Each structure stands twice: as C-alpha cells, then as structure tokens.
Amino acid sequence: MATATNERLVEARRRIARLEVQAERGTADARSRMQRYLDTLHREEESARASAHERAAAVDERLEQLDNELELAEHRLAAEIATTQEQFAGAIEAELNRWDAYLARMQAKAAAKAEAARERAEAAIAELRQRRVSIGKSLAAVGTDAGESWQDAKTRVLAELDDLKSHADAAWRN
C-alpha cells in the first residue's frame, strides 16, 4: 500500500478513536445517537482499507509482470547480440528459465480461478509449455546440424521464442 494512503488510513483510524473517547463523555442518549455515526465510520474505514489493499495487489501484479517482461527483454537482447554460440546458448537458457518461472506463476494463478476460466488458462499454459520445451530441444540442436550454420540456427531459435512470446501475449489478453 502506498505510504500516503496508509498515512491517511492511520489518521482516519486515529480520528475515529478520538470520537469514540469523546462520545463516551456524553449522556446515554448522545452515546446512542453517536454510535450510529461511529458504526458507519468503522465500516467506511474498513472498506477504504480493503480497497487500498486490493489496489496495492493490482499494482504489485502489474509490477511483477513488468519485472518479468524486463528480464525476458534483457535475455533476448543478450541473445540477439551474442557473437558466439556459447553466449547465445547461455542467453537463451536464461530466457527459457525465466519462461519456466513465469509459467509456474501463471499456473498458480490459474488454480485460483473459477472452473471455466481455470480450464482455459491451464490449456493455454500447457500449449505454452509445449512450445517452451520445443525451443529447448531446438537450442540443444544448435550446431549439431551440419547443413545449418549456427547463425541460421540462432535465427530459427529466436523466431521460435518470438512465436512463444506472441502466443503468451495473446493468451493473457483473452
């Protein structure tokens, strides 16, 4: 939760507590009438707190997605500018590891969805995992085909990664 929001919530709780103390000094009728206000204030404060936490969770999820995209892009750049087969293989392995972690997180989030949405998400994740495994096999084959230069293999593997990214982006837009 953002610091400013948290400070406002703390201040609201402090003001409510102050009103409760002051209301206790009044007559029984005054306390009874004030209790309605205090009950409303407690509900509103709790609602605001819950809303702030929900928004914070949404922001955290967006930041997690941004971190993932940044890491994928960093590994991709390393693969793109690799001048040796070893540099390329290392960069692609790192990118594939990031994909594994990302798909595991998506699987955990899918498990929390309602049945139909969960089934769609799990089907998309299974398809993405198959593509990821295929890329791993393609990477392992780089340099083993006598008819293909490692630069051609690099182009092929990068195209497969582009396809994986495209399918992942489409799966989460739906």
- Domain count across the chain: 2
- Per-residue pLDDT reduced to its tens digit, 67-107: 989 999 999 999 999 999 999 999 999 999 999 999 999 99
Residues 87 and 169 in one domain: yes
- Per-residue pLDDT reduced to its tens digit, 38-58: 888 888 888 888 888 888 878
Per-residue tokens: 127: 């398809």
Residues 29 and 58 in one domain: yes
Q: What is the pLDDT of residue 87?
A: 94
The rounded distance, in Å, linking the Cα atoms of 157 and 138 is 6
- Per-residue pLDDT reduced to its tens digit, 7-37: 888 888 999 998 889 888 888 888 888 888 8
**Cα of 36 vs its chain's centroid, Å:** 41
- Per-residue pLDDT reduced to its tens digit, 93-149: 999 999 999 999 999 989 988 999 899 999 999 999 999 999 999 999 887 877 778
Domain that holds residue 169: 82-174
Residues 40 and 107 in one domain: no
Q: What is the pLDDT of residue 36?
A: 85
Q: Is the pLDDT of residue 174 over 70?
A: no
Give the Cα-Cα-Cα angle 92, 132, 164 (nearest 5 degrees): 90
List b or e across 98-114, with b for residues whose CB sees 16 or more CB atoms inside 10 angstroms.
bbeebbeebeeebeeee
Q: Is the pLDDT of residue 1 over 70?
A: no
The rounded distance, in Å, linking the Cα atoms of 96 and 161 is 9
Q: What is the pLDDT of residue 29?
A: 82
Q: What is the pLDDT of residue 63?
A: 82
- Per-residue pLDDT reduced to its tens digit, 152-167: 889 999 999 999 999 9
Which sign does the torsion angle of CA 84, 85, 90, 91 carry?
A: positive
Residues 107 and 41 in one domain: no
Q: Specify the DSSP element, H or E, that contains 33.
A: helix 28-80
The rounded distance, in Å, linking the Cα atoms of 92 and 127 is 19
Residues 106 and 167 in one domain: yes
Residues 56 and 95 in one domain: no
Residues 88 and 34 in one domain: no
List b or e across 42-80, with b for residues whose CB sees 16 or more CB atoms inside 10 angstroms.
eeeeeeebeebeeeeeeeeeeeeeeebeebbeebbebbe
Tell me if 28 is assigned to some domain: yes
Q: Is the pLDDT of residue 172 over 80?
A: no
